[in-house]
């Protein structure tokens, strides 16, 4: 997308935002890719290959049933994700979204488990898949926050009861956290004036549906993604470029302050 086309589209979005108050940002791995993190799929992704070294798809290795049977396998791949996060930090796109809270009521629904939105300053974050830095015991009430997994054995054991510890993330074949799902439904019932999808392929129904519902109701829907996704055809404005570039064009005053 050339600069002229991006500028024209950005002006259109800004005109539609005049007088608006509540914004929803739905974010995925493409947003954090600009922090140097690999996405999960595709060329250069953590799971580009069809099979893991354990001879199974990543969806099996990172599943609830596999964790119950062989936690060392699941932890091996969770550790690979955390290793990719280590030393990385939030980027300009995260900062712009956080800065928008000065002028809008912003809610962030993120699939990412890296914690970058909160690190950037966003205060209304629904991390629907959890945060890999929050650990909990599978037997007792022990919880802890880890900035990284350096020095940890896999699987780690609880310092209180010696049971296996797990990250507070949603594994494949596990239900979404009831509390976070209820919060998301509450916010969606309140409604938003504009909906932004940033860096996500929108393959999960609970990620795609808010955008699809908003589009059908004629509300402003903006997709920021270099690739074509499940929702691309229905969004009012599509910006096929990186998150930081697109958000800087949409909100130049916010990007100038960071």
> Is 129 labeled as catalytic in the residue annotation?
yes
Give the chain's domains with CATH numbers.
3-36+90-129+176-256 (3.40.50.1220), 58-86+136-169 (3.30.1600.10)
pLDDT for the residue numbered 87 = 82
C-alpha separations of 43 from 48, 97, 106 in Å: 6, 27, 32
User: Could you give the CA distance from residue 96 to residue 251 in angstroms, rounded to a whole number?
Assistant: 8
pLDDT for the residue numbered 254 = 67
pLDDT for the residue numbered 43 = 37
pLDDT for the residue numbered 45 = 52
* The pairing of beta strand 165-169 with beta strand 130-137: antiparallel
Q: Which of 212, 198, 249 is nearest to 94 (CA)?
A: 198
pLDDT for the residue numbered 50 = 54
Residue among 77, 94, 117, 129 flagged as catalytic: 129
Successive 10-residue mean pLDDT values, the chain, 258 residues: 95 97 96 80 50 80 95 92 86 97 97 95 97 96 92 92 96 96 97 97 95 97 95 97 96 69
162, with CB counted inside 10 A (0-12, 13-18, 19+), is exposed
Contact 119, 133 (CB under 8 A): no
């Amino acid at each position: 997308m050339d600069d002229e086309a991006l500028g024209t589209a950005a002006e259109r979005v800004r005109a539609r935002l005049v007088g608006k108050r509540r914004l929803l940002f739905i974010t995925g791995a493409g947003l954090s890719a600009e922090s140097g993190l690999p996405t999960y799929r595709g060329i250069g992704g953590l799971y580009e290959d069809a099979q893991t070294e354990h001879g199974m798809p990543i969806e099996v290795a990172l599943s609830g049933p596999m964790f119950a049977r062989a936690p060392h396998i699941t932890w091996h791949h969770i550790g690979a994700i955390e290793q990719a996060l280590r030393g990385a930090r939030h980027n300009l796109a995260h900062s712009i979204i956080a800065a928008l809270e000065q002028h809008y009521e912003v809610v962030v629904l993120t699939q990412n488990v890296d914690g970058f939105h909160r690190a950037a300053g966003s205060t209304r974050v629904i991390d629907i898949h959890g945060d890999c830095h929050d650990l909990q015991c599978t037997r007792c009430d022990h919880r802890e926050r880890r900035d990284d997994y350096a020095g940890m054995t896999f699987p780690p054991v609880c310092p209180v009861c010696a049971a296996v510890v797990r990250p507070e993330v949603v594994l494949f074949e596990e239900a979404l956290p009831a509390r976070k799902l209820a919060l998301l439904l509450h916010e969606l019932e309140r409604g938003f004036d504009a909906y932004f999808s940033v860096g996500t392929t929108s393959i999960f129904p609970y990620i795609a549906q808010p955008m699809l519902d908003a589009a059908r109701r004629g509300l402003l829907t903006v997709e920021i993604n270099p690739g074509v996704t499940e929702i691309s055809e229905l969004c009012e404005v599509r910006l096929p470029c990186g998150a930081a570039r697109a958000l800087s064009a949409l909100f130049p005053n916010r990007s100038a302050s960071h």
